[in-house]
Amino acid sequence: MTGRSVFPSPDIWFNWNTMVVDAAPHPTAYSGTFFDETLRDGIQAPHIRNPAPAQKRALIDHMARAGVRSADLGFPGADPEALRECVALARHIIASGHPIVPGYAGRTHPADIAAIREIAARAETPVDAYVFVGVSPIRQYVEDWSIAGIQRNIVDSAAACLDDEVDFVLVLEDAVRCTPEVLGQVYDAAIDSGVSRLTLCDTVGAARPEGTAALLHWTSRYFRNRRQSVDLEWHGHNDRGLALANSLTALALGCARVHGTILGIGERAGNASLDQLIVNSHLDGHGTYDLKALRQYGEYAADVLHVDIPQNYPALGRDVFKTSAGVHASAILKAHRKGDTLVKDSVYSSVPAGYLGREQEVLIDRASGTNNVRYWLTVHGYDSTDASLLKKILDGSRAHPGPLTDEQIGRIIATAE
């Protein structure tokens, strides 16, 4: 794909964040599902431990229980061992009866595509071939690629995937920084090749939600004007901290699949967080997922991939359902007395703890008030009206550097009896 570019064009700094595009008709919003990239894009990060084959199978089991229905299981063109492992993972899905469509990544290179086709043949199952090519002007300039060469690679790779058991998905790397002029030429090659599925990538996490929307609207209109039916997918990275917002935008605008990784793992700042996408989708009624199984997935992944879950990480963090503020404790206590768990879970949280197999935790520390102690006594079956006991526990919290543990509170109660 060698070109003749000597001096960079101003286009290498293009970004769809600068574009204003009128909203276009799009597929039914929130009809899409999620594509789990944990076992491919996720484990590329240098700080992530590559899981053993048995651990990868267990991760797939967790995906299935949480409600994931499609996943990228690797890069089989890397070497013969990678191919063997990818075949084994496809066979595991079949043997386990998991409703997961296996996907595999590859370049627009005959060897990569041949490896993906071999998986379908050896595992005797349909697979998705996610075949990627860089399209942004900055990538073209750095690599000395020409548009004609990119177009030729798209046509050739699509033709190589002509197989009843292999579904070709064209993946456009760095699409967020690709100009409309170049994208139009790339899309024309896709149309000529009969491409029906297209993934737009925010490869370096450059997009803002408005840029995501502009690119999706423009792309939808381009294919609609040419009477070409194409399912769009979105793959986002988190370099600017906007991967979740961009991915939710893509989901709202009708993308058929939105990609993510468990705990947002991935190279640099990571990928869109699959677990946060699932939690948001579930809470907004755009899909039904098992959030308790999702929590188990996150905890298992953290263990085998050697990832720390921050204590304040949304939904899955250790402390996200804990409070020591007196005002919060008062409201949670009142909600508890009304006997409705969902009300108690929601009065000071937008994510109900019970959905994840957790409970609201009211801590007792130096900043706590009487209602914190009353709540603890109430849920543990003690008399919450005993003024002397309340004072004794509060006095104990003032003399302790951190929140009192249940064991410490129990000892204080024992000494008061």
Report the Cα 318 to chain-centroid distance in Å: 20
Question: 181 with 279, same domain?
Answer: yes
- Residue 373 lies inside a defined structural domain of this protein: yes
| Cβ–Cβ under 8 Å, residues 74 and 86 | yes
- Residue 310 lies inside a defined structural domain of this protein: no
Question: What pLDDT is attached to residue 39?
Answer: 98
HSE (side-chain half, CA atoms, 13 Å) at 68: 30
Question: 71 with 108, same domain?
Answer: yes
- Residue 3 lies inside a defined structural domain of this protein: no
Question: What pLDDT is attached to residue 367?
Answer: 85
Does the pLDDT value for residue 205 go beyond 70? yes
| Cβ–Cβ under 8 Å, residues 198 and 190 | yes
Token pair 């906007």 is found at 242
Q: From CA 396, how far away is CA 403, in angstroms rounded?
A: 10
Question: 225 with 145, same domain?
Answer: yes
- Token readout for 101 is 């469509």
Reference 219, options 278, 260, 172, 263; nearest CA is 172
- Residue 317 lies inside a defined structural domain of this protein: no
Using CA atoms, how far residue 187 sits from 30, 90, 108, 175, 226, in Å, is 24, 31, 15, 11, 10
Question: 286 with 146, same domain?
Answer: yes
Whichever domain contains 186, its CATH number is: 3.20.20.70
Domain boundary among 305, 337, 366: 305
Average confidence (pLDDT) over 150-178: 95
Q: From CA 109, how far away is CA 33, in angstroms rounded?
A: 28
User: Who contacts 214 (Cβ-Cβ below 8 Å, separation ≥6)?
Assistant: 16, 17, 19, 20, 21
Question: 199 with 299, same domain?
Answer: yes
Q: From CA 100, how far away is CA 60, in angstroms rounded?
A: 9
Does the pLDDT value for residue 86 go beyond 70? yes
Question: 14 with 106, same domain?
Answer: yes
DSSP three-state, residue 274 = helix
Helices marked H in 286-340: 291-305, 326-337
Q: From CA 342, how far away is CA 135, in angstroms rounded?
A: 48
Over its C-alpha atoms, the chain yields an Rg (Å, rounded) of: 26
Q: Is the dihedral of CA 39, 40, 41, 45 positive or negative?
A: positive
- Residue 365 lies inside a defined structural domain of this protein: yes
For 367-417, what is each residue's pLDDT tens digit? 899 999 999 999 999 999 989 999 999 999 988 889 999 999 999 999 876
Question: 89 with 233, same domain?
Answer: yes
Question: 361 with 276, same domain?
Answer: no
Per DSSP, the residues of 202-247 read: ETTS---HHHHHHHHHHHHHHHHHTT---EEEEEEB-TTS-HHHHH
Pick from 99-103, 195-199, 308-312, 382-386: least confident: 382-386
Q: From CA 393, how far away is CA 373, in angstroms rounded?
A: 7
Question: 19 with 53, same domain?
Answer: yes
Reference 274, options 263, 285, 266; nearest CA is 263
Question: What pLDDT is attached to residue 7?
Answer: 58
- Residue 315 lies inside a defined structural domain of this protein: no
Question: 331 with 279, same domain?
Answer: no
Question: What pLDDT is attached to residue 284?
Answer: 93
Domain boundary among 305, 340, 361: 305
- Residue 47 lies inside a defined structural domain of this protein: yes
The whole domain housing 190 covers 10-305
Does the pLDDT value for residue 21 go beyond 90? no
Number of domains in the chain: 2
Tally helices (H) and strands (E) across the chain.
Answer: 15, 10
| Cβ–Cβ under 8 Å, residues 234 and 255 | yes
Question: 299 with 346, same domain?
Answer: no
Helices marked H in 52-208: 53-66, 80-96, 110-123, 137-143, 147-160, 180-192
Q: From CA 249, how far away is CA 90, in angstroms rounded?
A: 31
Which amino acid type is present at position 152?
A: R
Average confidence (pLDDT) over 131-154: 95
Question: What pLDDT is attached to residue 399?
Answer: 86
197-202/166-173 β-pairing: parallel
Reference 276, options 251, 255, 307, 300; nearest CA is 251
For 247-265, what is each residue's pLDDT tens digit? 999 999 999 999 999 999 9
Q: Does residue 389 or residue 28 have the better pLDDT?
A: 389
| Cβ–Cβ under 8 Å, residues 416 and 377 | no
Chain-wide mean pLDDT for the chain?
94
Does the pLDDT value for residue 183 go beyond 90? yes
| Cβ–Cβ under 8 Å, residues 232 and 216 | yes
Question: What pLDDT is attached to residue 75?
Answer: 97
Which amino acid type is present at position 107?
A: R
Confidence at 26, pLDDT banded by 50, 70, 90: low
Does the pLDDT value for residue 3 go beyond 90? no
**Secondary structure letter of residue 194 according to DSSP:** T
What pTM does this model have?
0.92
Domain boundary among 305, 340, 370: 305
Confidence at 23, pLDDT banded by 50, 70, 90: confident
Question: 198 with 172, same domain?
Answer: yes
Question: What pLDDT is attached to residue 331?
Answer: 94
